[in-house]
Amino acid sequence: MSDKVCIVGIAGGTASGKTTIVRKIKEKFGDDIVVINHDSYYKAHDDLSYEDRSRLNYDHPASFDTDLMIEDVRKLKAGQEIDMPVYDFTVHNRSDETVHVMPKKVIIIEGILVLESQALRDLMDVKVFVDTDADERLMRRIIRDMTERARSIESILTQYRDTVKPMHEQFIEPSKKYADIIIPRGGENTTGISILQEHLNLMMAD
């Protein structure tokens, strides 16, 4: 294996199957991979009440501290350790905790908007877009947010209507044109995932 660090960006709409694909890549490459989630870099809003934070648009590029993420990815690529922020979705705010991250051969940058940022794209060796039907993504999001994030069905649907869907159409879907690899149907597409795994295998062996 070469000393080259391979940076992979995996984008796609909410609940498109990005996490499933990342998990399957990790299963294949194990300790050679570190995953950096864009969601961890939501901006802190300690100055706002819970009610005000719950009304923010979390699907707009401005809601992320992407500059900090870029700084951290560059450090990892240079062989430096980082302390990645932790975001608490149940309170809509950044946690006081951090996660210590060691540099690895493969760095996966995952999130809905990671292909929207040119500065992030410029760091990537491979750009992937997970393309899943909108109705399927909404159903998955409802289940996830109710079970993992203690959200009500009303709040999930309101957020989807007001910010998730319009931001997807404005920012996420257009970023698909930057992808080197498009994986339809998300985690169900075992053939697409296998092709991505083999591509990474070849890159790591160069």
Q: What confidence tens digit (pLDDT) does each residue in 143-153 have?
A: 998 998 888 99
- What's the CATH code of the domain at 80? 3.40.50.300
Please indicate, yes or no, if residue 40 is contained in any of the structural domains: yes
On whether the CB atoms of residues 87 and 95 are closer than 8 A, the answer is yes
Q: Is residue 206 part of a domain?
A: no
Query: Does residue 76 lie in a domain region?
Result: yes
Write down the pLDDT at residue 181: 93
pLDDT band per the 50, 70, 90 thresholds, residue 206: low
Domain count, the chain: 1
Q: How far apart are CA 69 and CA 80, in angstroms?
A: 14
Locate tokens 């707009």: which residue?
60
Residue 205 within any structural domain of the chain? no
Residue 1, pLDDT score: 41
Residue-averaged pLDDT of the chain: 92
Residue 80 lies in a domain: yes
pLDDT digits (tens, 9 = 90+) for 40-81: 999 999 899 988 988 888 999 999 999 999 999 999 999 999
**pLDDT value at 31 more than 90:** no
Domain that holds residue 63: 6-200
The secondary structure of residue 31, as a DSSP letter, is: G
> Whole-angstrom Cα distance, residue 94 to residue 126?
29
